[in-house]
Structure 1
């Protein structure tokens, strides 16, 4: 008997003092979510204001998650979106009081004095020719993208650590991405065992059903004649 797996999303949780990557079931209600977020951010449930953003750089929220009875799925939350949790009354919470640095005396260093020091990030970059101090030829060589002979549309199988468990699908994307350096291969799995729908951090690279998409390094993937296999989940794993 085939049993459906819980539908989950991987999202980023941000607050004034924390940042973490978390995975939640889409059936989780906002009320249940707030209890989990209190353990993550330290912000009391009654003080939480949760806004959904498409990415960390997006300052305009998609919507507010303000109905405790509704689920994450109701609000259309997808992989790699951002939940920004705000403390509406920091004066009553320990986290809010710890985050108030208005009374802390700040140490300031002029640009000239900073440039003279040898124990700074700037000095390290200068010594090792990193960033804007790097040789132009070396920098161009590091940013070049090698050619990968993996055709889009090819059937493939992704390496799995589970014996007799074949993670098969179709190649949908090959190339550089914004979420990490190097070349990545986007795969649409035959089964809902993926991590996304072809988009990561608000950037779409291909389109597929939710939880069917994944991005892997080319060396973790084999291209060939891999027919579709139906995954049968053992009854003991219900």
Structure 2
């Protein structure tokens, strides 16, 4: 005894639009779907009520084919719906733009006090982990002020040791301290004992100090230590 299984119905690619908002979508519907069944599917897509929904069919080029309102029990194929056509949904009970007007949507708002008392807010997380403005230590401006005050008492020509992460320590001489025009902040100009720098004390056409080519560099204050760092006598290594 043999049994047969019916082949699945072919699918139609249909463009769906509405007259009450800017909604546009392309959907696939079985060609044996009835207009009544289609209306219930379109309710979920457009928000229109099947009882008051009206459907208008258009060809690909926009020409009107006809209305599908009195064909509830007819299949899409029998109603003349073809692949690539457009079905326009209208509903007299819906005002134009009603579903796109967000002015009537109730917004969730918290007072400053309510937000401050929430244990799982971003602010509370930063406070617990001492991040950002809740971190330990002084503000950026205060740190800059401290750096300036620290270097005010250091005389130009003082020996120093520059330690930059990822690079070997380099001995040199303090040649400049203060702001620059190439980058904001407080900078230290150093003349290295060896040609391990980037310039000759001049950056972007402005001279800050004099030194040989590749002997000059600018570093952040936290990378510099001052003290008795004698210049290496290269003749002793020959």
Q: TM-score range by the shorter chain?
A: 0.3 to 0.5
User: Which has the larger Rg?
Assistant: 2
Structure-1-length-normalised TM-score: 0.36
Larger relative CO (CA 8 A, sep 6+): 1 or 2?
1
